[in-house]
Structure 1
Amino acid sequence: MARPKVPLLSRDRIRDAALSLIDRDGLPELSMRKLAAELGVQAASLYGHYPTKDDVLDDIARGIMARVDTSVFDSGDWREGLTAWARSYRAALVRHPNFVPYLASGPGNRDENLRAADAVHGGLVTAGWPPREATMIGAATRYLVMGSTIGSFSRGFLDDIQVYRDRYPHLDQAHLLRAKADEIDTESFELALAAFLDGLRLRYDAIAERRSRRRAGSAQS
């Protein structure tokens, strides 16, 4: 039997092609018709694997979120847990910035997202954070990660020195930023993460101090 001219479809092949299309053209450009054209098949061929476009997107989301590491929370060190989670989260997302808006809508009912949320919240509460604070910390970390992956600050500058030198004297080195965009973006994220964690440490210590005073007061009464 002759080998088919078009490779057989599979969920993996469809999902990978969809993500490549999103990476190249943007999330709004994805449609089942365009995806089929990308694969060299008719759109009807896709529906046996994915009934809707949202099913494709959810499968992509599962694959990306599966690379996010929350295991460090098992150590009981909330700062180390948050650091590892945030770094692995950013590493998973920064490769596909055009897909981040889809993930930003919340975990929904996707198992990978909910397991990560459960691990983060459980790790923080177990380490001594009040549940409400743990919820806000998880949300704030997520905002920090997603904000750092949607766009590059450094790539927003031109490499023409004259654009900045004459009118913006404090930006006389801005034309150098594009060439070091990856380095600057990564180090800027690390700076923001460290400052965020330092602030949380002060908050955590204040909560612990209030608890200690309440216990001391209860013991004396």
Structure 2
Amino acid sequence: MCAMARPRKPLLSRERIVETAGALVDAEGLAALSTRRLAAELGVSGPSLYNHFRTKDEILDAIADAVSAKIDLSMFAEDDGRDWRTALHDWAVSYRAALADHPHIVPVLAQGPGRRPAGLKVADAVFGAMVRAGWPPAQATSIGALMRYFITGSALGSFARGFVDDETAYDPADYPHLGRAHLLAEHRQKVDEGAFETGLTALLDGLRLQYEALPARPRTSHSSATAEA
């Protein structure tokens, strides 16, 4: 009896669709993703995608959630031991690193978690940790929102890449303080990471001052207020 031949291509699955779509977005940007292009990349017919995703937007949501799943949340565990400021710092660094690896999906992530499971776990972890630390629920919500604005905003573009690598572009007669601006692009990573760390430190220091001004209140492990991250 002859053994059944193996299929020439791997069976289609949600995981394979998301992985292929994510690689396409990483390489060419959001505009490159269409169901027709994705089906061609997968070697399947377009309608077969609809067995797993109803729309292109659902695929984008899944890509975004896969990126959210890469964000480290261990610092928010109740037994981790880090104080709230250190936890926020370490989480922000992990969050930005995940976005830096997938910059083209940032506009989708910036819209918020919606119904995405991994994104909601991020929001829940941040909010819960802040409330446990003693932040009032409303302020814990604001902190989650503030951190998302700052981190996703920092990942939407590069300050250093905003200047061209041409010293003749910045005439001292017109721009007396930009004589070395053409060197920024060459040092993009150092400039952008340094700016992120400077902003993050300033933000967290400001939050610490607000925290120290809070009236004494008991720490709690849960709250029903709205979370946002």
Deviations, residues 177-218 of structure 1 (Å, cap 9, x unaligned) = 1111112111111110000011111111111xx448xxxxxx
Q: Report the Cα offset of residue 140 of structure 1.
A: 0.4
Residue in 1 that maps onto 2:184:
177
1:108-187 equivalences in 2 (<5 Å)? 108-166=114-172, 167-187=174-194
2:25 aligned to which of 11, 22, 26: 22
Deviations, residues 33-88 of structure 1 (Å, cap 9, x unaligned) = 12112333321232223332233222212211111122212336110111121111
Normalised TM-score (structure 2): 0.84
RMSD value over aligned CA atoms? 2.0
1:94 and 2:100 are equivalent in the alignment: yes
Relative CO higher for 1 or 2, CA cutoff 8 Å, sep ≥ 6? 2
Q: Which moved more, 1:153-162 or 1:15-24?
A: 15-24
Q: Which moved more, 1:116-125 or 1:68-77?
A: 68-77
* Superposed structure 1 runs of 4+ greater than 6 Å apart: none
Structure that is richer in helix per residue: 1
User: Percent sequence identity over matched residues?
Assistant: 54
Q: 3-state DSSP class of the match of 1:139?
A: helix
Structure 1's unaligned 5+ residue stretches are 213-221
Deviations, residues 116-170 of structure 1 (Å, cap 9, x unaligned) = 2111111111111111111101110111100110111101111110111432120
Structure 2's unaligned 5+ residue stretches are 218-229
1:69 and 2:75 are equivalent in the alignment: no
Normalised TM-score (structure 1): 0.87
1:59 and 2:41 are equivalent in the alignment: no
